[in-house]
Structure 1
């Protein structure tokens, strides 16, 4: 376990973000469990908890909720970390957007995770796919088969009912653009607690972040390190110069930037050393934050899911 008797700047890794529209607060540093192999998932999830992560992000679509649940169970059984110490996010997949499918999907995730509740339940994307057991249904020509019989607002209403019934503490959205988010906020009886979007110094999403701040919504960045794609964020000269000057890794610089501007982040790795590195962040000086904001001009989105509902990191032209 990481020692909490640290200099003030090293407390950044323990930052918690209050949930205005939910219960309690969410650890800013989150560990994502999008790992294809179940054995690797179990080992990496255990490592993440042991080095200090207290937020686990899971999803039905990842196909490994059982492994995440087994890892949590092993750690909780040891007694050093309690269930109430860990913030767990689960996600509703696109094929379950119809209101009558929401609660069964949620309860199925809980069974696989071996939990009696999730701290936050998130709509994985704003796109509804044809209901059924196929995660990626297609029409006869290989195109995504969308479900036109349900609206996102109707799906959101079903999540609100989970909160009403005491089944879930907070609800949120993922892979959503500002316009669609504004529609949900305007119509919602219970506002989103959390919004997950791709965000990093090459895609800072300042406008969306400003809107979320005005509404008391926590922004959580996925792919905060740029997903190791070209152009490579961690090789950016602004990031590497700051890292060299402060004796940090480029990843630690990018993740500290995320927390210091008021967002959470999700990182994923199966390498114990990398998992520990990603947790052991510390505060950057103000001039470093200013350099990142003013001197990085590259703007690129690596994941096209906001356009299609189909997750996947695709090389794209610079914008």
Structure 2
């Protein structure tokens, strides 16, 4: 059985000199508002020091309330928690970025953000409808704004001191390269689906070379088929090292140099997800050698978050 160590406290430095991001983070895409607030408080109390939310999740208010209550106890200070949220697709036009950012900041009850991400590289028709569709049910994209235009508006937020770092979410390598080449303030973080069945090695290699943190959502898969946690390689390692399959996969993600987000409403699962320890090198090699390739969320292809339907 592997011994407990400091892997769970790993921090990854940001390329703009604004500090470091905890590798192990908590995601707040939880449909129920009360559950969101309770889970966020529990995550902070369990040891998590990175929180992720988004305008689109509609959880910023509850995350803000949870943080405020925890900070009031004096046990955790604002400066100890790395907070990220995201700009939604309907606010890509440069003049809409700052109002959207400030609305998020207000809901979160914060004076500044540690990280602000463009949620997807796809601009949607501006307006109050977060998922604008035409009469045929097709997404109405905004063709008048380019990703770089939106990025320039995010750079202004950093220049004004409201935001420490900015990044991209749900993007492919080509978009990351395009923005990195043209940006005055380089992307500090790229956030996207990644797990042993979708390791994104090429993108991770590019990020490593350019000092960008790759942050994985759905690091355990989506509890869908094929099931990452039921993979025979993962289960065999878990048995061998005396950890759960989830702990093995989370440790793999941190050890290969990525940050990650886990989401759960269950206190025991929260504690399990935080209790990760360093895997032996042979275990890392075995997981790296898994050949299954599956994407569970189609957001990177359309800008619309959602699971990809799979037949039995």
Tell me the TM-score range normalised by the shorter chain. over 0.9
Query: Where do residues 265-304 of structure 1 align in structure 2 (5 Å cutoff)?
Result: 265-294=260-289, 296-304=290-298
The aligned residue for residue 211 of structure 1 is 206
Query: Once the 2 structures are TM-superposed, how far is the Cα of residue 167 of structure 1 from its aligned partner?
Result: 1.1
- 1:116 matched to 2:107? The reply is no
* Cα distance in 2, alignment partners of residues 8 and 126 from structure 1: 42
Alpha-carbon deviations, 1:273-292, whole Å to 9, x = none? 11111111000000100111
Contact residue 159 and residue 171 of structure 1 kept, 8 A: yes
1:242 aligns to 2:237 (yes or no): yes
Q: Which of 156, 162, 172 is 2:157 aligned to?
A: 162
Which residue of 123, 133, 138 corresponds with 2:133? 138
Deviation at 1:316, TM superposition (A): 5.0
Q: In the alignment, which residue of structure 2 is the partner of 1:4?
A: none
Q: Residue deviations 1:126-181, cap 9 Å, x none?
A: 00000011110111211101001100000000000111111100000000000111
Q: String of CA shifts for 1:92-149, please: whole Å, max 9, x gaps.
A: 0000000000000000001000001110000000000000111101112111010011
Q: What is the distance in 2 between the residues matched to 1:308 and 1:225? A: 22
Q: Distance in 2 between matches of 1:190 and 1:8?
A: 40
Larger deviation: 8-17 or 97-106?
A: 8-17
How far did 1:80 drift? 0.2
Deviation per CA, 1:240-294: give whole Å up to 9, x if none: 0000111100000000000000000001000011111111100000010011112
- Is this contact kept in 2: 1:171–1:192, CA < 8 A? yes
* Deviation for aligned residue 1:10: 1.8
Secondary structure, aligned partner of 1:61? coil
* TM-score w.r.t. length of structure 2: 0.98
The yes-or-no answer on 1:86 pairing with 2:78 is no
Q: What's 2:26 paired with?
A: 31
- Which residue of structure 1 lines up, in the alignment, with residue 306 of structure 2? 312
Separation of aligned partners in 1, 2:16 and 2:180: 11
Aligned counterparts of 1:219 and 1:316: Cα–Cα separation in 2: 27
Contact 1:22 1:170 in 2 (8 A): no
- Give TM-score scaled by structure 1 length: 0.95
Distance (Å, rounded) in 2 between the aligned partners of 1:219 and 1:40: 28
Which residues of structure 1 form unaligned runs of 5+?
1-6
SS in structure 2 of the partner of residue 243 of structure 1: helix
CA RMSD in angstroms, aligned pairs only: 1.1
Between the aligned partners of 2:11 and 2:255, the Cα distance in structure 1 is: 12
The C-alpha deviation readout for 1:26-68, integer Å capped at 9, x for no partner, is 0000000000110000000000000000000010101121110
The aligned runs of 1:180-191 (5 Å cut-off) are 180-191=175-186
Q: State the shift of 1:21 in Å.
A: 2.1
Aligned residues of 1:21 and 1:217 also touching (Cα < 8 A) = no
Contact map agreement 1:94 1:124 (CA 8 A) in 2: yes
Deviation at 1:22, TM superposition (A): 4.6
Range with greater deviation from structure 2 (35-44 or 19-28): 19-28
Between Structure 1 and Structure 2, how many residues are aligned?
310
Counterpart-to-counterpart distance in 1, 2:307 and 2:248 = 22
Segments of 5+ residues of structure 2 without an aligned counterpart are: none
Encode CA deviations 1:196-224: one digit per residue, 9 max, x unaligned: 01100001100000001111100000000
Aligned to 1:68: 63
Distance between the aligned counterparts of 2:122 and 2:218, measured in 1?
20
